[in-house]
Amino acid sequence: MSSPPQRPQRTLGISLKIYFTPQETLRYYQSLQPILSLAQQHNIHIFLIPSVLTLPLLLQQTGALNSTTWSLSKRDRAPITLGAQDCSPYDSGAYTGAISPRELALMGCEMVELGHAERRKLFRETDETVARKAEAVLRNGMVPLVCIGEQIEGSVESAIEECTPQITSILALPGAKGKEIVFAYEPVWAIGQPRPASAEYVVGVTRGLREVCGEGVRIIYGGSAGLGTFEGMREGVDGLFLGRFGHDIECVKGVIEEMAR
């Protein structure tokens, strides 16, 4: 008797931005633990992006970082991936206030979020800036989580056209071929709104973007994503990237159950 086909892997990411104190971040992380086994059971990969100052605290919790020597510990892969919200394109040097990608990797960080709409708006980051940072992330053996999205609500075709150079600037990097890259499709006009973009719209855009990036690249949806978002989009996206709705543990559990169906 043949075994049933393996369920395709889904991805669920959560960004804490800078809402939580170190103590609140630790409590949140500990509250996640009981539902990680449910995610593993249904082949759902979870990643968490805390603030950079709380990242070492959580890396110690996973056993990735030895808190005495501040060196990497030998361990099996944790059931959750921890990432940073940004980094510098430079590994080291006279760059005051910058976050070194090399140091992130040495601490055990596995993923770096890049190009979020807030950084593009507030810090004037361009596709070129994001690509340089992505190159540094890849160079240091981490996974770039690249946020892409159109500014204004319009047609599916116009969204694909606007997002395409955001993707190709990353895939054209010398170190990108054969490496794991995740794109978080977040229509800028949908971020912070009461409801996400419509499922039909998102599926149309992401199917068009897959023709650009190929089937091997993961595309997840963000932009007011929460409970009830994934069901209508499951044919077009590999998972979700939660913002404020992900700060509620019960919402996260509900999303995992929805993705597991």
What are the beta bridge partners of residue 239?
A: 11, 220
**Residue appearing with tokens 């990353």:** 170
The yes-or-no answer on residue 125 being catalytic is: no
Mutual orientation of helices 249-260 and 22-41 as an angle, nearest 10°? Answer: 20
Q: How far is CA 144 from CA 183, 184, 211, 249, in A?
A: 8, 10, 20, 25
List 116, 135, 150, 162, catalytic entry:
116
List 125, 135, 162, 186, catalytic entry:
186
The yes-or-no answer on residue 42 being catalytic is: no
- Gap between the Cα atoms of 98 and 91, Å rounded: 9
Active site residues per annotation: 116, 186
